[in-house]
Amino acid sequence: MALNLLMLGPPGAGKGTQSERFARTRGIPKISTGDILREAVHEGTDVGRRAKAIMDRGELVSDEVMIGIVRERLERADARGGFVLDGFPRTVAQASALDRIMDGRDPLIVVDIVVPEEELVRRLGGRLICENCGANAPMAATATAPCLKCGGRLVQRADDDQAVVLERLKVYHRMSEPLVEYYKIRPTFRSIDGAQAPDRVAADLVAAIEAAGSGALRQGVKG
């Protein structure tokens, strides 16, 4: 059975870190719409230029654009054996589109990473990004350290200014929290505590995925 994992959680919950770690250990691709968009911004593509202004305001890119990006990516050969999806869906409309994309595939396991808002604000206010390649730096990194991917200079993300952080969390609560309601009735849904140390979160993530996968097999869930 292909391991198709969807990570939910607010900005700063650690979805990116945990997604990358889990995908690497399982040998499946981590598919992050945020990474795809930041790459487009860095390369100065038409989509990138339009998306940059939206993201810098802490707003979300349109459903149509995001659905198209994900549909194309999941059709690639390396995603047939499973994937970790981070940053999509962010709305119920996107979730419904993802259900259609997943029709006929193995079950989609959904894990929600829960973190208190005050901790999210603290984390996001100290987050750094490489000004050259756009990669997120580890949480413990300082502005004097080089980027681990390309050696570039680390700077604060434009969308991690405190006012923008608070706006992003408002947007999340308004538009993305209904996703938990959408998914939580499924036997493949689990929730974990993301306020713990990263290794503890990683262990809980594995346990949640194994439990959700067992539930899906027992009930013969598809898509």
**Catalytic choice (52, 90, 123, 190):** 90
For this structure, is 190 an active site residue?
no
For this structure, is 127 an active site residue?
yes
The per-residue pLDDT for 33 is 81
**Catalytic choice (30, 38, 127, 190):** 127
**Catalytic choice (15, 38, 73, 190):** 15
The per-residue pLDDT for 29 is 94
For this structure, is 174 an active site residue?
no
Q: Global pTM? A: 0.76
| 3-state SS, residue 163 | helix
Q: Is 43 exposed, middle or buried (0-12, 13-18, 19+ CB in 10 A)?
A: exposed
For this structure, is 76 an active site residue?
no
Per-residue pLDDT of the chain in tens (223 residues, 90 and over written 9)? 889 999 999 888 998 889 999 999 999 999 988 777 777 778 787 777 877 888 788 887 788 878 887 888 888 899 999 999 998 898 899 999 999 999 999 999 999 999 998 898 888 877 788 888 877 787 667 778 899 889 999 987 766 667 788 888 888 888 878 999 999 999 999 999 999 999 999 999 999 999 998 766 555 555 5
State the Cα–Cα distance between residues 125 and 121, nearest whole angstrom. Answer: 6
For this structure, is 168 an active site residue?
yes
Domains of the chain: 3-121+176-219 (3.40.50.300)
